[in-house]
Structure 1
Amino acid sequence: MRRDPVVTEELKQELLELALAAARQAGELLRDGRPADLAVAAVKTSPIDVVTEMDLAAEKLITGFLAERRPADGLLGEEGASTAGTTGVRWVIDPLDGTVNYLYGLPSWGVSIAAEYHGEAVVGVVEAPMRGETYHAVAGGGAWIGDRRLACRAPAPLDQALVATGFGYLQSRRAHQAEVAARIIPRVRDIRRGGSAAVDLCDVAAGRLDGYYERGLNPWDLAAGDLIAREAGALTGGRPGQRASGELVLAASPSVFASLQPLLEEAGAWHDGDAAL
């Protein structure tokens, strides 16, 4: 029977130190180098799904930093970096998660860097410069903000849960996501929309949210935050029995996860509306 190689603690520590350094440098670039006349450099899935020159500059900084130190690793970045690699390590990079917030001068954005080993996330770092916070986790080693260990919120009934979500940039998807939110909000304490999946996942880890769900995320949106949330004691997944994916991401304290997941399934949070069925 084939067995994947086991990642060593030494390798995890090396990857963590590199991710922390790269995220810190990119965060400083984004925070201190933001031009006053920042404008959209390109659009992606729709005219409101934007890329700025700073997204591109931050990804170039991160990929260059990592390639110089570990040139044989794989890379997957939101703004186009894609290298297979030969070491079993792949870096999954979102250089600026929360671009629209950043464009408008809102503080909820971050740099997300995860390191996978043979397909499993082993290190996750999210740098949130406007908060002055760095979240990190190593598989099996807990989740941390600086030197303080993180823990998700204590068990709570769903009607006392504060839940975050996000909305895609395709109009048909957004309309159905609004319908899902309308079905969820009467069942929970309240809903928040922060605008950065990576930061929302870290807020679940830090006990600032009871849960978070969203459809349509990409690997770079969730790789680091998903690990950080799990290492803080949260449950993460998608549809019942499935892992978190672009179809649906759910992260929550265990009791809220158990109550919220079937509601999201019933509400069809995993698809884009009747036309998708």
Structure 2
Amino acid sequence: MNEFPAGKNPGQDGGTNSGELLELAVRVAREAAATARRMRAEAIDDVETKSTATDVVTAADKAVERQVVEALRAMRPGDGILGEEYGSSEEPLPGAVRWILDPIDGTVNYLYGLPQYAVSLAAEVDGAVVAGVVVNAATGDEWTATLGGGAWRGDRRLSGSTPSGLGQSLVGTGFGYDARRREHQGRVLAGLITQVRDIRRFGAAALDLCAVAEGMLDGYYEKGLNPWDWAAGGLVATEAGVVVAGLNGAAPGAEMLVAASPAVFGPLHDALAALDAAGGA
């Protein structure tokens, strides 16, 4: 990733050039990841819950989001921001940029010290994500993409995997926090696991999508994702040639997101549809 020209912040004029937006996103996300790492090393305190007793949010989530919001507003005050903790959900004006932020994707991993949590930041224009970065804050690994510009891990362009079929596929998933939803998701998992090579559950949707883009997973599915969970990772996957969609022609979203290499997407989609993966609570 190129350094910023002296005396100029990329995108500070309010433009929508995807390359400039990505440069800004990378810088801000790297700084946010450093804050998350530092706070994890110092202490985990002020743990609260959100939707259920198992849905945790830490002081670091809030601090990291405030840092990113302040940085973006200082450099691009006219942009909108949709964040998990504080960002406004107001729809932006036509042609304007909206940033979609997950300050710490994988908060439970963060809480337990598992090295699978990320800062995810995407730039959206007129409903389309045009630039995105996912930084594994624990390891410093970084995935980037621009619309039409490909997906990258560092200097290596990503192109997904090429499994021979669903039966030879390693598939990732995630679970909701509501017990009723988990019960349904458990039944779906029990029906799917006999049809695939194996299942993995890493606990951070953005990183799961980047794993599919890189070929570390052949597919991934989950119900209940929010825009900040998959905006940047979804672009990385799509630009790597991965199919990202919902079930039965629906767009990816809260009802279901399925991401898989083209050879696997069809049979994985059909298996999930037959198991009513989008159903339940």
TM range (shorter): over 0.9
Give the TM-score taking structure 1 as reference length. 0.92
| Alpha-carbon shift at residue 205 of structure 1 (Å) | 0.3
Give distance in 1, aligned partners of 2:73 and 2:164: 44
Query: What does residue 265 of structure 1 align with?
Result: 273
RMSD (CA atoms): 1.4
Query: What does residue 191 of structure 2 align with?
Result: 183
Query: What does residue 149 of structure 2 align with?
Result: 141
Query: What does residue 228 of structure 2 align with?
Result: 220
Give distance in 1, aligned partners of 2:16 and 2:46: 41
Query: What does residue 193 of structure 1 align with?
Result: 201
Question: What is the 5 A alignment of 1:38-117?
Answer: 38-82=44-88, 84-86=91-93, 88-117=96-125
Could you tell me whether the CA contact under 8 Å between 1:73 and 1:84 is conserved in 2? no
Q: Deviations over 1:12-51 (max 9, x none)?
A: 1111011001110000111122255413532111011010
Structure 1's unaligned 5+ residue stretches are 1-8
Q: Which amino acid aligns with 1:98?
A: G
Give the TM-score taking structure 2 as reference length. 0.91
Q: Which amino acid aligns with 1:23?
A: A
Structure 2's unaligned 5+ residue stretches are 1-14
The counterpart of 1:239, out of the listed 247, 255, 267, is 247
Give distance in 2, aligned partners of 1:156 and 1:40: 47
Matched, 1:17 2:23: yes
Distance 1:40 1:191, change over 3 A: farther
Could you tell me whether the CA contact under 8 Å between 1:40 and 1:50 is conserved in 2? no
| Runs of 4+ residues deviating >4 angstroms | 83-87
Q: Deviations over 1:130-165 (max 9, x none)?
A: 232110000000000111101100142111000000
Give distance in 2, aligned partners of 1:132 and 1:31: 10
Q: Deviations over 1:60-116 (max 9, x none)?
A: 111111111110001100002105544521000000000000000000110000100
How many pairs are equivalent?
Answer: 265
